[in-house]
A = this chain, B = another copy of it.
Amino acid sequence: MKVLVTYNMFRDGYSELISKYDVTFPAEGKESFTYEEVLEVIHEYDVLQSMYNFPVTAELLDKGVNLKIVSNYAAGFENIDVDYATKKGIVITNTPDPVTEPTADMAMGLMLSVMRRIADCDRRLRTKDLEWGLLNNLGYSLWGKTLGIYGMGRIGQALARRAKAAGMKVVYNNRRPLDPKIESLYDARFVSFEELIKTSDVISLNAPNTPDTYHIINKETIKLMKPTASIINTARGPLIDESALAEALRNREIYGAGLDVFEGGHKVSEELLDLDNVVLTPHTGTQTYDVRNEMAAFASQNIINFFEGGKICRVN
């Protein structure tokens, strides 16, 4: 079998795949194949292992006359024309498992950094713009506070587990309530979105980007929040009206925000960069050496099991 990997990832996670099949990576020193390069050679390959931002179009699928499976290196698959692949009988797989716990860690890390002013203090210590003292740099404790999780899937639940261990009460809103057995693991309570936004001390967004979730945090919903509350977003940028949030933070209408994703994609707006009550990270929710290797191993396993039998994580 011939496998084309579009990105020059570390090889650690690919060792089994490389031992079994004929695997092509971009040449050393080259980060990624371009779309045009893949288009030209895809007819020779049985398998495409695409990165999350590599466009797998109908055109490309048509050129891939030998393609049997596209194994995407991502939990999402917005980069792939899944319907067209389904029509052509090409299997699409993804790698949701490795991203769950690291993303929950990122949400927890941002929450602690916002509530305890970690990044803010670190920055001001370095610019010598900080006063020490008993009543300076005060943040909020987590213990006894209410965390409202919007989107209680795998990542939301992994965050709930961490929050419970830190003594927080967990409420959540989801398309439907969870099984009471799962709720009881986290002492989590299903509430309406309105109750969640009004009663939470921290709101964490863990829902996908859909027309229903678009700008769920906006000027009106921010007005319902407690003045001491914070928002954490490790999900997708468009869930928040970023300009409305920046205005509320600037006017100290809420306490803070921790954002790993942005409306502008790989671009943080200048109005956010100017604020000291927001913690900003460059979509590093799954950016660890461990996850990179685990996702490569997971994407490889989807390919190996497709041919040899065993569980695969298919999306079509």
Contact = CB atoms under 8 A, between A and B. Distances in A.
Interface of A: 7, 9-10, 51, 101-102, 104-106, 108-110, 112-113, 115-119, 121-123, 125-126, 130, 132, 134-144, 161-162, 164-167, 266, 268, 273, 279-284, 287-292
A10 B273 CA distance: 32
B116 A119 contact: no
Contacts of A112: 105-106, 108-109, 112-113
A136 to B, nearest CB: 8
Contact of A284 (B123, B137, B166, B288): B137
A73 to B, nearest CB: 9
A72 B130 CA distance: 27
A104, A126, A134 interface centre (most CB from chain B within 10 Å): A134
B288 A141 contact: yes
A288 B119 contact: no
A102 B141 contact: yes
Contact of A109 (B118, B165, B280, B288): B118
Contacts of A108: 108, 112, 166
Given A126-B280, A134-B51, A266-B132, A140 B105 contact: no
A236 to B, nearest CB: 16
Given A116-B106, A137-B282, A162-B165, A125 B273 contact: yes
